[in-house]
Amino acid sequence: MVAAVAVAWLLLWAAACAQREQDFYDFKVVNIRGKLVSLEKYRGTVSLVVNVASQCGFTDQNYRDLQQLQRDLGPRHFNVLAFPCNQFGQQEPDSNKEIESFVRSTYSVSFPMFSKVAVTGTGAHPAFKYLIEISGKEPTWNFWKYLVAPDGKVIGAWDPTVSVEEIRPHITALVRKLILRNREDL
C-alpha cells in the first residue's frame, strides 16, 4: 500500500515537472472588435507588444514607426500587438470602435489591435501582469514596448522614450534567427 502511494506521488510529481512553463502566448485577449482571441495564434512569430494611446505626444511617431515595422517584417514572421490603454493621462478615452477607425484612417494600421485594457495595477490584464513579472519592467506611460520571442519568452522591454527604430535591430535579429531556423527545419 505504501509503495503504491509512493508511486502515485512520484507519477504526479513527474507530470507536474513535465508541464510546460507559462509564456505570453498562453493568454487569451479580446480583439478591438470584441472577439475572444488566443495569443497562441502568434506562437512561432516574433511579437512587439505595445500599450497604445490615440491622444499622446508619442502617438504620431510611434504609430508611423510601428506600421512601417509591420510592413517591413510582418505578418508571417512578426506582428505588432497593440493594446489601447487609458491609464496614463486619460489619453485613450474613446471607444474601441472609435480607436480602430482613428488608427486605420490616420495611420493605415494593419497590425492586430485589441480591446482597451489596463496594463498596470490590480486590474491589469493577466498578459500584461505576465510581461511585467518576467521583464521586471512596468509601464509608466503610453507606448511601452515588450519584445516577445516565437516561444513566448519576453526578450526585452523599453519605455516610450526609446524609439521603435532603436528597437528595430533587436526585432530584426530575432526575425532572422526565426527564418534561418525555419529553413533548417525544412
Which residues are catalytic, by number? Answer: 56
Number of H helices, E strands in the chain: 5, 6
Residue with cell 519592467: 137
Contact 175, 77 (CB under 8 A): yes
Distance CA 47, CA 80 (A): 6
Dihedral of CA atoms 170, 74, 30, 57 in degrees, nearest 10, equals 60
Max distance between CA atoms of the chain, in angstroms, equals: 71
β-pair type (154-158, 78-84)? unpaired
Phi/psi at 16 (5° precision): -65, -40
